[in-house]
Amino acid sequence: MKKVIVIGSGFSSLSASCYLAKAGFEVELFEKNDTVGGRARQLVKDGFTFDIGPSWYWMPDIFDKFFADFNKETSDYYQLDKLNPAYKIFFEDDTITIGDCMEKICAEFERIESGSSKHLKQFIGEAQENYDIAINKVVLRPGLSPLELVTKETVLKVDQFFKTISQQVRKRFKNPKLISTLEFPVLFLGAKPSKTPSFYNFMNFADFGLGTWHPKGGMYEIIKAMKSLAEELGVTIHTNSPASHILVSDGDVLGIRSNGTNHLADYVVSGADYHHSETLLDKKYRQYSEEYWDRKTYAPSSLLFYIGFDKKLINIEHHNLFFDTDFEKHAQEIYDNPQWPSNPLFYANFPSVTDASMAPEGNETGFFLVPIAPGLEDTPQLRDQYFDIVMDRFEKLTHQSVKKSVIFKESFCVNDFVEQYNSYKGNAYGLANTLSQTAFLRPNLKSSKVKNLFFTGQLTVPGPGVPPSLISGKLVADLIIKEVNK
């Protein structure tokens, strides 16, 4: 039986572990922190439950496919509820509510801009076509060759790789609120809408077509489900076990060193931050230079606040976006001229609005996120300053007083991403999905310098986000299974 060591325990690492164990490999997983989940860990405090990282459950079909590959269903592990409304967007002078079906969303678009629902149906129809191609053709390829992007379907849409989401949206819609609403899902891909190929409008179908869901108990229920599945398949999981070195001899991987002990294996898969993973190798075995990593375009980092409120809040939904300031200016301060934002957009998540298990009775669990450029200075003073900015705006836009109702607040920012996840420049979502960083142009799943060393996760193929991470784990497992069956 061949042995595989997997570094890290985020979605991609757990996914790879499950597929490899099912294929008959002996799998051992090493996680540096005291719980599994990578960036998708959980904070439980005073009866409040917070998802520390991902908080949106989109593309339910990808999760269904993952568990189906093991003859399981998501319902074997967690209860999934479709949110209605999916989310609410606050503008300076109005709010837009995104319902749980196209009929409701079209009605809301018509309220804002007469005639816009006709354009919306056409736009989402095209997005659905692209979703089908992306999910069933493009993302399931391992990014080893440019030819992977060439299918009869993508050839017909080649122009969509050279036009941008921004151009496509603005051609059809004139109202700035509707433009922001349609450009928002691309932020999950970690790049400005004006730099993201229009083919990626499939994210709009994921949003409006498939809807927004919530696993009862929070996103960490998915991690618990995958851990349970992995262990059922025979995976051995070690926590508090950071990899300090990837062992190589004459260009062949031997295993890893963790807590002063060498652990040997036939294959090593790292789902840890790709840049960090390469620093675990002797220099001659690294594929990418520091200059390479430095010139890449990264998805944003985040300033996060986890807040327990001593009362139920009003005028909010489960997911809320605060777009009452200049979208484009904030994007420039993330990507073009990295600095702390002068007037940030932000996101607020209150899972206890729909899931009573997430907060004590009569209280509210609040998760606030400000997207920021990676690599910024991160100090307690800056965190406090932005906490005040966010709370002031939140109070004003939701017409309520909340500051005096804060029982506790915890924060998480650039320094924590570096310290807890070895994240390059403290990025939160990996590499942005720009044209020059799509598919085979991303860092490789397979090392070109060390035999039997592989990588998975959001800095490689297919890209940032939870569903792509599940797919990344499958892609790398498939490559290893092929190597063995050669």
Judge contact between 435 and 463, C-beta under 8 A.
no
Q: Please state, in angstroms and rounded to a whole number, the distance separating the CA atoms of residues 123 and 142.
A: 29
Judge contact between 32 and 240, C-beta under 8 A.
yes
- What is the model's pTM? 0.96
The candidate with the shortest Cα–Cα distance to 300, out of 184, 395, 430, 476, is 430
pLDDT by residue for the chain (486 residues), tens digit each?
899 999 999 999 999 999 999 999 999 999 999 999 999 999 999 999 999 999 999 999 999 999 999 999 999 999 999 999 999 999 999 999 999 999 999 999 999 999 999 999 999 999 999 888 888 876 766 766 654 455 655 545 556 666 888 999 999 999 999 999 999 877 766 778 888 888 888 899 999 999 999 999 999 999 999 999 999 999 999 999 999 999 999 999 999 999 999 999 999 999 999 999 999 999 999 999 999 999 998 889 999 999 999 999 999 999 999 999 998 899 899 988 999 999 999 999 999 999 999 999 999 999 999 999 999 999 999 999 999 999 999 999 999 999 999 999 999 999 999 999 999 999 998 888 777 787 778 999 999 999 999 999 999 988 888 999 999 999 999 999 999 987
Residues in a beta bridge with 196: none
Judge contact between 17 and 40, C-beta under 8 A.
no
Judge contact between 232 and 27, C-beta under 8 A.
no
Q: Please state, in angstroms and rounded to a whole number, the distance separating the CA atoms of residues 32 and 259.
A: 10
The candidate with the shortest Cα–Cα distance to 100, out of 123, 118, 80, 83, is 83
* Nearest-10 crossing angle of helices 60-68, 220-232: 10
The candidate with the shortest Cα–Cα distance to 350, out of 315, 323, 325, 385, is 315
Instruction: Report CA-CA distances (Å) from 184 to 94, 166, 177, 191, 354.
Output: 17, 10, 11, 11, 23
AA identity, residue 36 = V
Cα torsion 223, 226, 227, 233 to 10°: value is 180
